[in-house]
């Protein structure tokens, strides 16, 4: 596992995290808990940049050899992630740049970044913290 984001509590009408289904590449493995970037048309892939559009968090394990081209994602709930920088409870957060040390990081929202939710705890760089995903 590569520091995937952990589900704490799911919200939505059926308490399923308001799951959505997106298209994804057939030969790509997507671990459960991976932060996914949104691209056109309605396609999700592992996050590769800071502040881009976020599809959500992988709600399933997708094998790279199953020939599947769909992935379910959570879009509403409380999750635990690693901080890419210092965050304070209440701060708006965004998907952070991918780093080998901390993939799937969430960080303080920068002016040009797209908000994915807000921090529920204060954390230092590399520390786990909970945040409310709100897409």
pLDDT digits (tens, 9 = 90+) for 52-101: 789 999 999 999 898 899 999 999 999 999 998 899 999 999 988 665 45
Mean pLDDT of the region 103-110: 80
Residue finishing a domain among 74, 99, 116:
74
How far is residue 95's CA from residue 108's CA, in Å, rounded to a whole number?
A: 9
- Does 6 reside within a domain? no
- Does 7 reside within a domain? no
Element (H, E) at 77: strand 76-82
Which segments of the chain does DSSP mark as H helices, in order?
A: none
Mean pLDDT of the region 21-28: 93
- 60 & 82 share domain: no
Residue finishing a domain among 74, 95, 125:
74
Torsion of Cα atoms, 32 then 35 then 37 then 41, to 10°? 30
Residue finishing a domain among 46, 74, 102:
74
pLDDT at 103: 64
pLDDT at 1: 46
pTM (two decimals): 0.90
User: Are 43 and 23 contacting, i.e. CB atoms less than 8 angstroms apart?
Assistant: yes
Q: How far is CA 67 from the centre of its chain?
A: 23
pLDDT at 84: 87
- 85 & 61 share domain: no
- Does 3 reside within a domain? no
Q: To the nearest whole number, what is the mean pLDDT of the chain?
A: 89
Residue-number span of the structural domain to which 96 is assigned: 77-134
Task: State the DSSP code for 121.
Answer: S
Mean pLDDT of the region 127-133: 95
Q: Would you state the structure tokens that stand for residue 55, as one six-digit string?
A: 């599809």
pLDDT tens, residue by residue, 25-53:
998 899 999 999 999 999 999 887 777 78
Number of domains within the chain: 2
How far is residue 71's CA from residue 21's CA, in Å, rounded to a whole number?
A: 6
- 67 & 89 share domain: no
Concatenating the DSSP letter of every residue in 19-30 gives -EEEE--TT--B
Q: How many CA atoms lie within 13 A of 84 on its CB side?
A: 21
């Amino acid at each position: 596992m590569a520091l995937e984001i952990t589900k704490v509590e799911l919200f939505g009408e059926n308490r399923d995290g308001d799951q959505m289904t997106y298209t994804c590449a057939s030969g790509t493995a997507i671990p459960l808990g991976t932060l996914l970037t949104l691209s056109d048309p309605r396609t999700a892939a592992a996050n590769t940049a800071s502040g881009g559009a976020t599809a959500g968090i992988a709600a399933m394990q997708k094998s790279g050899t199953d020939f599947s081209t769909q992935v379910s994602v959570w879009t509403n709930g409380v999750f635990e992630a690693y901080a890419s920088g210092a965050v304070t409870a209440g701060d708006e957060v965004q998907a952070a740049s991918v780093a080998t040390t901390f993939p799937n990081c969430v960080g303080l929202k920068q002016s040009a970044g797209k908000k994915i939710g807000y921090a529920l705890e204060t954390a230092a760089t590399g520390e786990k913290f909970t945040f409310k995903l709100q897409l």
